[in-house]
Amino acid sequence: MPTQLITESENGHELSLQVHDTFQLQLPESRMGGYRWQLLQTGEPVLKSAEINTKAAGSLPGQSNIRTWQFTVEQPGSVQIHLQHRRPWERDKPAREFVLTVKAAA
């Protein structure tokens, strides 16, 4: 199965995969305002995660960046990936949240 691309539009959804499947998660972040995505739940040990890059969403100054992680299914199970888009120094409610449930079969 080719690598699936998951974006912010899948927030709150469920993804069904098999062991050894991979997917990439791409989320826009407002780094000019100091906001970054923080990965709070990685889905381990069912998933193995790695941040693979951050790139500008466009060529104009001040545009958002796109941050990308790759996840690989390591074993069967059901887990959640949870991220918050916030400024590292602020402890109140995050600007945005992203949650994805992953169900992995053998």
- Can you give the residue range of the structural domain that contains 39? 4-105
Q: Which residues, other chains included, contact 74 with Cβ-Cβ below 8 Å and sequence gap of 6+?
A: 19, 45, 46, 47, 48
DSSP code for 64? P
What pLDDT does 56 receive? 66
In this structure, the strands spanning 96-105 and 14-18 are: parallel
- The token pair at 29 is 């972040």
The number of domains in the chain is 1
CATH number at residue 34: 2.60.40.2020
The full length of the chain comes to 106
Q: What confidence category does residue 30 fall into, taking pLDDT thresholds of 50, 70 and 90?
A: confident
pTM of the shown model: 0.86
Q: What is the pLDDT of residues 50-60, one digit of tens each?
A: 988 777 666 66
Q: What is the pLDDT of residues 55-89, one digit of tens each?
A: 766 666 666 788 999 999 999 999 999 999 998 88
